[in-house]
Amino acid sequence: MNETLSKILGGKQGAIGLAILAAFIMIVLPLGLDPFRLGLIGKYLTYAFVAVSLVLLWGNGGILSLGQGIFFGLGGYGMAMFLKLEASDPVSTAIQSTPGIPDFMDWNQLTALPWFWEPFKSLPLTILAILVVPTIFAFLIGYAMFKRRVGGVYFAIITQAIALILSILIVGQQGYTGGVNGITDLKTLLGWDIRSDSAKYVLYYVNAGLLIACILLSRYVLSSKFGMLLLAMRDKEERVRFSGYDVSNFKIFIFCLAAMISAIGGAMFTLQVGFMSPTFIGIVPSIEMVIFAAVGGRMSLIGAVYGTLLVNFGKTMFSETYPELWLFLMGGLFIAVVMFFPNGIAGIYEKYAKKVPFLRKLSEETPKAKKAEAIPAAPVETKEAGVKA
């Protein structure tokens, strides 16, 4: 048990890094910012779920998905559908020609709730759907592609096309999905007003707690043998395959896990921001989320959170004052990160932290660094690993 715990925390250095992050988002930011700014940070932290999922998928697995917005959106829409149904009770929608259905359905001459909205009347089913629907969708995509050994740029392009399809579909089917405006006017969760300041604080902490939990889960996955295999697959896929591992199963698993983490972020987004729209699904948001992870450091779970905060903070700052400059900066950021800082903030930290004596001592004590050198590839373990995936 103790060993598991130390694995999850990532040794002394990992635990300290995580503690600093937790203190930063849970104590420093709430104390230092007014509720409005904190709401913005809460929104950014929901993107950080996607960035964390991309660290798993892209940094460690070498699979670049340009469609993480799909899963973020599915999670967000799941939550939004539940909240919308709660907001459209027959009393408050009495002026509609069909009371009791969401307003946009009424505007589009729908007279009954579509069947796929029915499960979202219940909160447990909604939470289940938020976790399961994106995972199943990811499984289907992953199964179809990884089993046929499609990877690399092809995978990126096809996930991008799927993100495009989904966003056009949602915009096009206005009566069922709310169209380009998305699902708006979300007010209460089981009668609890989510727009009040106190609710915003509660949701912020729930969000931060879930984010830390997802990072811990990801740490656990990465520190297990599976994590080692993931790295090995990224660097020498053929060799892993020839050692007797079924590479595609590992890829499907990590893709599903990444989808689920992104979906949690999407659901928290809806709760905190109060709406969900197709603009968070399409090509542009999906690829922007990749840059969050890249800026933070594609190999660093904690770095991904800082990267997300930094890029979004910059975006808000610049688009308020110099909207023209922002696209230049964003574009420049893509180019600069790829060309000069492939490991992002975490990479810069790694490089320069070693010059500080105290920090160097810490990193030398990390057990993970030693372990990474020995990659187990004994054929006896194959069966066990296959079952795990």
Partner 1 sequence: MFEYSMAEIGNIVVMQAFSGLSLFSVLLLMALGLAIIFGQMGVINMAHGEFMAIGAYTTVFLSRVAETYGIVNYYFLFAIVAAFIIAFIIGYIIEFALIRHLYKRPLDTLLATWGLSLVMQQIFRSTFGAKEVSAVLPEWLMGSFQPTPDIDIPINGVFVLALALVVTAGVYIFMFRSRWGLRVRATVQNRVMAGAVGINTKKVDRVTFALGCGIAGVAGAAFTTIASTGPTTGSLYIVDSFMVVVFGGAASILGTIASAFGIAQAQSILQFFMTSSMGKVATLMVIVGILMMRPEGLFASKVRK
Site size for partner 1 (CB under 8 A) = 43
Pick the closer one to partner 1 by CB: 54 or 210: 54
**N-to-C CA span, the chain:** 22
164-203 footprint of partner 1 as x/- string (CB under 8 A): xx--xx-xx-------------------------------
Nearer to partner 1, 93 or 308 (CB): 308
Q: What are phi and psi of 309, to 5 degrees?
A: -60, -45
C-alpha 326/C-alpha 316 separation (Å) is 9
Q: Which of 29, 79, 156, 256 binds partner 1 (CB under 8 A)?
A: 156
Q: How many angstroms separate the CA atoms of 115 and 110, rounded?
A: 12
Question: Which residue number, 201 or 326, has a Cβ lying nearer to partner 1?
Answer: 326
Q: Does 235 bind partner 1 (CB under 8 A)?
A: no
- Of 25, 40, 82, the residue nearest 273 (C-alpha): 40
Nearer to partner 1, 204 or 280 (CB): 280
Question: Could you tell me how far CA 180 lies from the centroid of its own chain?
Answer: 22
Residue pair 259/245 in contact (Cβ under 8 Å)? The answer is no
Identify residues 49-78 at the interface with partner 1 (CB under 8 A).
58, 62, 64, 66
Nearer to partner 1, 82 or 104 (CB): 104
Shortest separation between residue 267's beta carbon and partner 1, angstroms? 25
Under DSSP, the state recorded for 148 is: T
Nearer to partner 1, 154 or 192 (CB): 154
Tell me which stretch binds partner 1 (CB under 8 A): 114-122, 145-153, 301-309, 376-384. Answer: 145-153
Select from 16-24, 84-92, 201-209, 320-328 the region that touches partner 1 (CB under 8 A): 320-328
Phi, psi dihedral angles at 27 (to 5 degrees)? -115, -55
Q: 357-365 and 344-353 helices cross at what angle (nearest 10)? A: 110
In the complex with partner 1, which residue's Cβ is closer, 27 or 161? Answer: 161
DSSP 59: I
When binding is defined by CB under 8 A, the residue of 20, 338, 369, 372 that contacts partner 1 is 338
Nearest C-alpha neighbor of 22 from the set 176, 171, 211: 211
Cα separation of 195 and 181, whole Å? 19
CA distances from 129 to 77, 132, 242, 316 (A): 10, 5, 38, 32
**333 scored as a contact of partner 1 (CB under 8 A):** yes
Beta strands in the chain (DSSP E): 188-189, 192-193
Q: Enumerate residues 94-123 that contact partner 1 by CB under 8 A.
A: none
| Least distance to partner 1, CB of residue 308, Å | 16
Interaction residues for partner 1, span 255-294 (CB under 8 A): 283, 287, 290-291, 294
Query: Is 150 or 212 the residue whose CB approaches partner 1 more closely?
Result: 150
Q: Does 153 bind partner 1 (CB under 8 A)?
A: yes
Transcribe 214-250 into DSSP letters.
HHHHHHHHHHSHHHHHHHHHHH-HHHHHHTT--HHHH
Contacting range for partner 1; rule: CB under 8 A; set: 157-165, 242-250, 311-319, 344-352: 157-165
Phi and psi at residue 79, in whole multiples of 5°? -65, -40
Q: Which of 31, 91, 95, 335 binds partner 1 (CB under 8 A)?
A: 335
Q: Does 138 bind partner 1 (CB under 8 A)?
A: no
Residue 343's contacts (CB-CB under 8 Å, 6 or more residues apart) are: 297, 298, 299, 300, 350
342 is a site residue for partner 1 (CB under 8 A): yes
Which member of 4, 89, 122, 154 binds partner 1 (CB under 8 A)?
Answer: 154
Cα(55)–Cα(160) distance, integer angstroms: 18
Q: Which residues on adjacent β-strands are paired with residue 276? A: 183
User: What is the binding site for partner 1 (CB under 8 A)?
Assistant: 58, 62, 64, 66, 141, 144-145, 148-150, 152-154, 156-158, 160-162, 164-165, 168-169, 171-172, 283, 287, 290-291, 294, 324, 327-328, 330-335, 337-339, 342
